[in-house]
Amino acid sequence: MMLLNTDKCHVLHLGRDNSRAKYCLLGKELSKVADERDLGVIFQDDVKVSKQCTKAVSTANRILGYN
């Protein structure tokens, strides 16, 4: 049986009108994060894509040899 690692679990509250509730898993409060990356896409709590765009431009420039 595989145990769940609660240290790797985070809460990402999306949007302005979110109540920002506290969540617990297996008796431990989960940490809150401002952004999270999943499958190469960066999700931010303010629902903006600025970090994703900056990362894409940086990767493209590196491939082209500009940086």
**Distance from first CA to last CA of the chain, Å, rounded?**
47
32-55 per-position pLDDT tens digit: 988 888 888 888 888 888 888 888
Domain membership of residue 37 as a residue range: 6-64
- In whole angstroms, give the CA distance from residue 44 to residue 54: 13
pLDDT digits (tens, 9 = 90+) for 17-37: 888 899 998 889 999 988 888
Number of structural domains found in the chain: 1
Assessment of whether the complete model's pTM goes beyond 0.75? no
